[in-house]
Amino acid sequence: MSATPISHDRSPGAAQEPASSRGAIWFDALTGNATPAQGYPTTLLVADAPFAGSEARFISVVPDANHAYPRVRKGETGVIEGWAIAQAVHEVIAADQGKTPRPIIAIVDVASQAYGRREEALGLHQSLAGAAGAYAEARLAGHPVIALLVGKAMSGAFLAHGYQANRLIALDDVGVQVHAMGKSAAARITMRSVEDLERLAATVPPMAYDISAYATLGLLWRLVEVSNAQQPGTADLAQVDTVLRDALADIQADPTRGLASRLGAENRQASARVRAKLRAQW
């Protein structure tokens, strides 16, 4: 991976256009402006690029204002995206059989799963489960899987794209958020105002939207400070590159492939008790 100047050419011969999302910007930056692989929807960027002396597969979900499915035009993860993510992961699992499994780096900037009547009718739940299952299969097959959170990581979209990684890394930036749903949706569901939710979030970390509160839950492996998460410079890329390499080394030194290391944080004590009671009953 190299810290090269960023352009945003999506394909050979394409016009130069500004990337429209953090997912696209960081994909270009981390892959050295690699040409995305063909055969994927416009909302999914996939490329194999140099990383840590070898090669890694980079995957990012991006918006497409002209997508045939309106509910994914702002970077949501829908039916097509879920199956395409699963395809991108299964490709490297099949290609690396009998070889050293290459790392898979999920660049996470997903606004939500694509809530919509068509999506539900066409099996959105199966599509996103297929993506999550593919990442888990890759992890258990020995592929080091790293998720880099550069923007929003919301609801089922994050479960499908990134959450199954061996290590979760997030930029320490106000634009990076992890939650089950957006503030306005949460306010409607709970019949509270956004202001009420923000007051609760000040004392209940799982309800907070800022990444520092999420870090107290024990799921993140590292928070990375950068000077500009929206337009990373050379120093930002070098910093992220270092942390990604550290994560790779940490995974390779870990004989386990599970996610149990996420369960020990003080603010996950209730989750640990629930798991213990479930194990006792079953």
| Domain map (residue ranges) of the chain | 22-280
Q: Judge whether 147 and 163 are in contact, CB under 8 Å.
A: yes
pLDDT of residue 262: 83
pLDDT of residue 8: 41
Q: Which CATH architecture has domain 22-280?
A: Alpha-Beta Complex (3.90)
Those residues of the chain that have pLDDT short of 50 are 1-19
Question: Global pTM?
Answer: 0.89
Q: Say how many CA atoms lie within 13 Å of 107 toward its Cβ.
A: 28
Q: Judge whether 237 and 3 are in contact, CB under 8 Å.
A: yes
Q: Provide φ and ψ at 217, rounded to 5°.
A: -85, -5
Q: Judge whether 81 and 1 are in contact, CB under 8 Å.
A: no
pLDDT of residue 98: 95
Closest by CA position to 51, among listed 67, 63, 34, 64:
34
pLDDT of residue 232: 95
pLDDT of residue 7: 39
Q: Judge whether 96 and 57 are in contact, CB under 8 Å.
A: no
Closest by CA position to 134, among listed 122, 148, 145:
145
Q: Judge whether 3 and 234 are in contact, CB under 8 Å.
A: yes
pLDDT of residue 13: 42
pLDDT of residue 268: 83
